[in-house]
Amino acid sequence: MNVIKRIGKILSDRDTNPRFISSLKKVKEADLVAESINQQLKELEKKMHQQAVNL
């Protein structure tokens, strides 16, 4: 995600195509969603592991 932020900052400082900047924002949003999903999956995995240990 930090890479997307850096690229966006570099390109927004110059005269860049607004559609390209918009697409970078969408990629950033998708990256945030993916990060959230991964975190939820890790939490579920921990719960399942704990349940398996308790059996």
Sequential DSSP letters for 33-52:
HHHHHHHHHHHHHHHHHHHH
Each residue's pLDDT tens digit in the chain (55 positions)? 577 777 777 766 666 677 777 887 888 899 999 999 999 999 999 999 998 888 7
pTM over 0.75: no
Nearest to 25 by CA among 17, 41, 15: 17
Domain that holds residue 18: 2-54
Q: What is the structure's pLDDT at 43?
A: 96
Cα separation, 29 vs 39, in Å, equals: 15
pLDDT of residue 13: 66
- Joined together, the tokens standing for residue 28 give 């950033």
Alpha carbons within 13 A on the beta-carbon side of 9: 6
Q: Please tell me the predicted confidence (pLDDT) of residue 1.
A: 59
Radius of gyration of the chain (CA): 18
Number of structural domains the chain divides into = 1
